[in-house]
Amino acid sequence: MLTKKFQISFTAALLAGGVLSAPVAANTIDVAIIGEADTFDPMKSTKDVVSIVTQHFVETLYTFDGEWNIAPLLAVDLPEISEDGLTYKIAIREGITFHDGSSMDAKDVVASLERWLEVASRGKLVADKVASVEATGDFEVTITMSQAFSPLLSLLAFSNSAAAVYPEEIIADEIETVIGTGPYKIASHVPDQYLQLEKFDGYVSRDEPSDGAAGMRAQTVDEIRFVPVPDPNTRVEGLLSGQFAFADGLPAESFARIEESSAADPLLLKPFGWPIFAINHKDGLLTSKPVRQALQAALPVDDMLFAAFGDDNFFLTDGPLYPEGWAWRTDAGAELFNQNDQAKAAEMLKEAGYDGTPLRILTSRQYEFHFKMAEVAKMALEAAGFTVQMDVVDWATLGQRRNDPALWDIYITHSPFLPEPALTSLYDKTSRLGWSNPEKDQILVDFTTETDAEKRKELFAQLQEQVFEDVGFIKIGAFNALSGTASGLTGVTSTPWPFFWNVKVGE
């Protein structure tokens, strides 16, 4: 039986590594992720690996359905919003229990949202626009805004830098033991070996049909084990050998092997998102706009994408920040994309008075395509006259170092295409990039306070133009993401943040 094979292989792997596994439930799946989730507090992280893990045991007031519409989760329904857009009255579901056995009420929600506004990068995007968060009933919360903020519900629905709801009693700047309301709870954690989740018997699911992350969350497996596997090829081999029921972040070149295998099936998310060269505007070499512009002029995006993915079925050399067919699609500023002109860049560096200071690129091999893009970029940038320093670290270390602007000039990351641009914190001066100029900052304020859809599109076009002209960050085309499921595993939703409620394991 498939589950037995997963259990045996997982236990054997742990024994081989000198670590004894915890007892295995009869219906367990093992999920290979790209590395250790360095926190179980999703307010404190924008990492996808944190979102993937934590969404199983903490929940938010809202979530997204399969069409990226906002849907209620811990809230009863969508909020009552005043005509001026300044007051959100939110009814909270009754009968919801935390993993510690306590009951959720409005006080828990208020305390959690107040912490989110203080500590979460996405909470900080709106914190200065929130006048108050109050319990206006035992199961009612009212958010009062000092100015309208159109993306508020999208921020409250996002599992990344999430507005998670915790018991009021555990709220602190640092939460040592995370307690949530989700369908699964933490049973055991051996760092760098596995995180074992088990069904929470007190879970009360919504009863609407499942739709994306919305609706019914059925506890169809008893346990989920998230196994950090930094090497992408090891994740592939573990999937094909039956060790894993699901493997995330697989290299494009493994698609054919998985497709031809009788043990696994490829899961291709198309389009997935965009690689990003995140730029340090707070400190160092790239605080100079002319140097940033030279960097942008030198990059050979076509070559970088081909090196990263090897097959043009997996990437698209596309400049606009949103793909074809999306409401936010605009060509504004995109003529500066993929210039691939090292001679022009060299002249720009000379005019900027560049003195040979190393350009520090922070990257990791756990996302192999990040590293491959960096290698090609390094050659082109050196041809343009940059001195380039590659700092290759594990993903957890990258997550730590990028918080210190003294340690990097560029870090490489990626993002799925998100339904609301304001979910991308890179635009805001409060992000770790620190990108700020008066014109861009005002455009962003206008964009997030405007409620008319067509006017917001016009403002986003201006914002995208700023991305290219001021080089706020650099989009490196677009790509499709590959993961894989074991044959017989059903119910996996195609999403950037895979979840495993509702999945079933066959024979």
Q: How many CB atoms lie within 10 A of CB 309?
A: 24
379-407: pLDDT as tens digits:
999 999 999 999 999 988 999 999 999 99
Q: Options 1.10.3720.10, 3.10.105.10, 3.40.50.1220, 3.90.550.10; which CATH number does 271-480 get? A: 3.10.105.10
271 preceded by a cis bond (ω within 30 of 0): yes
Q: Can you count the helices (H) and strands (E) in the chain?
A: 14, 20
Q: pTM for this one?
A: 0.82
For residue 371, what are its two tokens? 């590293």
CB 64 within 8 A of CB 143: no
CB 413 within 8 A of CB 278: yes
Q: Which amino acid, residue 32?
A: A
Cα(431)–Cα(499) distance, integer angstroms: 27
Q: What is the CATH number of domain 1-57+182-263+487-507?
A: 3.40.190.10
In the three-class reduction of DSSP (H, G, I as helix; E, B as strand; rest coil), residue 425 is classed as helix
pLDDT range class, residue 373, cuts 50, 70, 90: very high
Of 244, 68, 39, 279, the C-alpha closest to 162 is: 39
Q: What Å distances lie between residue 30 and 88, 246, 356, CA to CA?
A: 40, 7, 48
**Largest CA-CA distance found in the chain, in angstroms, rounded:** 67
DSSP letter at 66? Answer: T
Pick from 130-134, 321-325, 503-507: least confident: 503-507
Q: Is residue 449's pLDDT more than 50?
A: yes
Cα(454)–Cα(207) distance, integer angstroms: 35
Name every residue whose Cβ is closer than 8 Å to that of residue 237 and which is 6 or more positions away in sequence.
none
Q: How many CB atoms lie within 10 A of CB 23?
A: 10
What pLDDT score was predicted for residue 506? 79
pLDDT range class, residue 125, cuts 50, 70, 90: confident
Pick from 272-281, 310-319, 353-362: least confident: 310-319
Q: Is residue 24's pLDDT more than 80?
A: no
The answer to whether domain 1-57+182-263+487-507 and domain 59-176 are alike in fold is yes
For residue 64, what are its two tokens? 């997204």
Mean pLDDT of all residues in 92-103: 98
Q: Is residue 3's pLDDT more than 90?
A: no
Residue in the block written with tokens 């500590």: 119
Cα(230)–Cα(241) distance, integer angstroms: 17
What is the architecture, at CATH level 2, of domain 59-176? Answer: 3-Layer(aba) Sandwich (3.40)
CB 245 within 8 A of CB 4: no
CB 131 within 8 A of CB 88: no
Could you give phi then psi for residue 272, rounded to 5 degrees?
-95, -60
465-502: pLDDT as tens digits:
999 999 999 999 999 999 999 999 999 998 999 999 99
Name every residue whose Cβ is closer than 8 Å to that of residue 75 and which is 6 or more positions away in sequence.
61, 62, 90, 91, 92, 93
pLDDT range class, residue 359, cuts 50, 70, 90: very high
Mean pLDDT of all residues in 231-236: 94
Cα(37)–Cα(14) distance, integer angstroms: 18
Spell out the domain ranges in the chain: 1-57+182-263+487-507, 59-176, 271-480
Q: What is the mean pLDDT of the chain?
A: 93
In angstroms, what is the C-alpha Rg of the chain? 23
CB 289 within 8 A of CB 283: no
Q: Is residue 12's pLDDT more than 50?
A: no
pLDDT range class, residue 193, cuts 50, 70, 90: very high
Name every residue whose Cβ is closer than 8 Å to that of residue 139 and which is 6 or more positions away in sequence.
91, 92, 93, 94, 105, 106
DSSP letter at 93? Answer: P
Cα(437)–Cα(282) distance, integer angstroms: 12
Q: How many CB atoms lie within 10 A of CB 107?
A: 14
For residue 399, what are its two tokens? 């997550």
